[in-house]
Amino acid sequence: MEVEIRLFASFREGREKKYFFKIGNLNLTVRDILEKLDIDEEEVAILLINGRDGKVDSALKDGDIISLFPPVGGG
Amino acid sequence: MIRYERNMSALSKEENEKLKDFRVVVVGCGGLGGYTVEMLARLGIGHITVVDGDSFSESNLNRQILSNNQNLGKNKAIQAKKRIEIVNDLIEVVPVTKFIDEYNGTDILKGHDIVIDGLDNIDTRFLLQEKCEELKIPFVHGAIGGWYGQVTTIFPGDRTLDFIYRNRRKEGIEKRLGNPSFIPAMVSSIQVSEAVKVLIKKGEILRKKLLVIDLLYQDFKIINF
Distance between CA atoms of B82 and B69, rounded to whole angstroms?
15
DSSP string, B19-39: HTT-EEEEE--SHHHHHHHHH
Q: What pLDDT score was predicted for residue B169?
A: 81
pLDDT at A61: 93
CATH architecture for the domain at B2-224? 3-Layer(aba) Sandwich (3.40)
* CA dist B95 → B75, B80, B172, B220 (Å): 10, 8, 28, 34
Instruction: Return all residues near A4 (Cβ < 8 A) that are at least 6 apart.
Output: A18, A19, A20, A64, A65, A66
Residues in A touching B142 (Cβ below 8 Å): 75
CA B46 – CA B18 distance, rounded (Å): 9
**Residue of chain B nearest A11, judged by CA positions:** B173
Provide the residue count of chain B: 225
pLDDT of residue B113: 98
Q: Is residue A33 part of a domain?
A: yes
Shortest Cα distance, chain B CAs vs residue A27, angstroms: 24
Question: What does the pLDDT look like over B88-104, one tens digit per residue?
Answer: 999 999 999 999 999 99
Element (H, E) at B132: helix B122-135
- Say what the pLDDT of residue B170 is: 76
Q: Report pLDDT for B218.
A: 96
Is the pLDDT confidence value at A72 over 90? Answer: yes
Quick check: B214 and A71 CB within 8 A? no
Residue A12 belongs to a domain: yes
pLDDT tier at A4 (50, 70, 90 boundaries)? Answer: very high
Q: CA of B107, closest CA in chain A: separation in Å?
A: 23
| Nearest CA distance, B125 vs chain A (angstrom) | 9
Q: Which of A15, A57, A72 to mutate to test the interface with B (most CBs of B within 10 A)?
A: A72
Distance CA B162, CA B173 (A): 18
Q: What is the pLDDT of residues B4-28, one digit of tens each?
A: 999 999 999 999 999 999 999 999 9
Report pLDDT digits (tens) over A12-67: 999 999 999 998 878 899 999 999 999 999 999 999 999 999 999 999 999 999 99
Q: Which domain holds residue A58?
A: 2-69
Give the ipTM.
Answer: 0.93
Nearest to B173 among A48, A53, A70 (CB): A70
Query: B170 or B138: which carries more pLDDT confidence?
Result: B138
| Pair type for strands B219-224 and B114-117 | unpaired
pLDDT-derived band at B29 (thresholds 50, 70, 90) equals: very high
CATH code of the domain containing A17 = 3.10.20.30
pLDDT at B167: 87
Distances B122 to A4, B77, B222 between C-alpha atoms, Å: 29, 20, 21
Which chain A residues in 17-56 lie under 8 Å from chain B, judged by CB atoms? 17, 41-48, 51-53
Report domain extents, chain B: 2-224
Grouping H, G, I as helix, E, B as strand and the rest as coil, residue B139 is strand
